[in-house]
Amino acid sequence: MKKIIAISILTLVSFSSFANDNARRLIEMLIEEDITILRTGGDSMLSDFIPTVNASQLISEYSNNQYKYEQTYHNQVINIKTVASGIRRDFSGDPFVVANGKNQFEYVSLELKNKDDAMNINNGSKLDLICIGTKDNVLFPILKECVTSDSYFQNFLEKTMNNINKLNESDTPKNMYESIYLGLWEQDIKNPNKLDKYNNMDEFAKNGQQYFEKALKIAKTKAVTEESKVITMPKP
């Protein structure tokens, strides 16, 4: 599925409300599938825009080349999956999570966006967090604004769909998902009573490829902005 759509630069023409419903349904299923694939370690479109890491990996990269680490992760949205080694307090008294690497002398510091989340984290707790990388590191990496992946991706889906639902035919797509949505909308006009029969992405991947290919032929010469080719992950 990724190979079919990752190169697409989809724009809009003249649409109907019925096509809009089909396109919204399909793009929401696509986004949900992308999120699921990313969170289970697969290769989704989102994999290109939000790295999944663990504590040992970050510590190793930081130790090997601090400059390269900071160039890579500063202000980058990161999905870290690791195990908590405990909760500590900073100089202001705020809690932060420690995740050790290969030994107790090296760790990643995880600063929580909602400090009360520390109440539910103990030594040995499995963590799946979305955080922001920073240049403000001391000895070992520090990640900031950490929230649970569950809450982050739920908000991401809701906000993405809310923006998609507001699109009009005169609007310019602001990201890859919006471009795909508008392309699906156009194809539903050109191929009525086709897209409404797909109830899940497996069916669509097997039998709907032709509609993406048709959309590509129409849309390749209609790129509007570079941002319509990518997915910008919002800060937690």
Tokens of 170: 């005169």
What pLDDT does residue 155 have? 98
State percent of the chain over pLDDT 90: 54
What pLDDT does residue 81 have? 97
What pLDDT does residue 215 have? 57
Answer yes or no: is pLDDT of 18 > 90.
no
Band (4; pLDDT cuts 50, 70, 90): very low
What pLDDT does residue 199 have? 77
Query: What's the Cα-to-Cα distance from 49 to each of 43, 69, 144, 145, rounded to whole Å?
Result: 11, 17, 18, 18
What pLDDT does residue 55 have? 96
Closest listed residue to residue 172, CA positions, set 222, 111, 113, 118: 222
Provide φ and ψ at 88, rounded to 5°. Answer: -125, 175
Q: In whole angstroms, what is the distance from residue 156 CA to residue 119 CA? A: 25
Task: Write down the domain spans for the chain.
Answer: 2-46+153-229, 50-148
What pLDDT does residue 122 have? 94
* Average predicted confidence (pLDDT) for the chain: 84
205 or 57, greater pLDDT: 57
Helix or strand (DSSP H, E) at 86: strand 86-89
Answer yes or no: is pLDDT of 113 > 50.
yes
Band (17; pLDDT cuts 50, 70, 90): low
Instruction: Name the superfamily (CATH) of residues 50-148.
Output: Nucleic acid-binding proteins (2.40.50.140)
Q: In whole angstroms, what is the distance from residue 160 CA to residue 169 CA? A: 17
CB atoms within 10 A of CB 23: 25
How many helices (H) does the chain have, and how many strands (E)?
Answer: 8, 7
Q: How large is the average pLDDT for residues 170-185?
A: 83
Q: How large is the average pLDDT for residues 221-227?
A: 62
Q: In whole angstroms, what is the distance from residue 161 CA to residue 172 CA? A: 16
State percent of the chain over pLDDT 70: 84
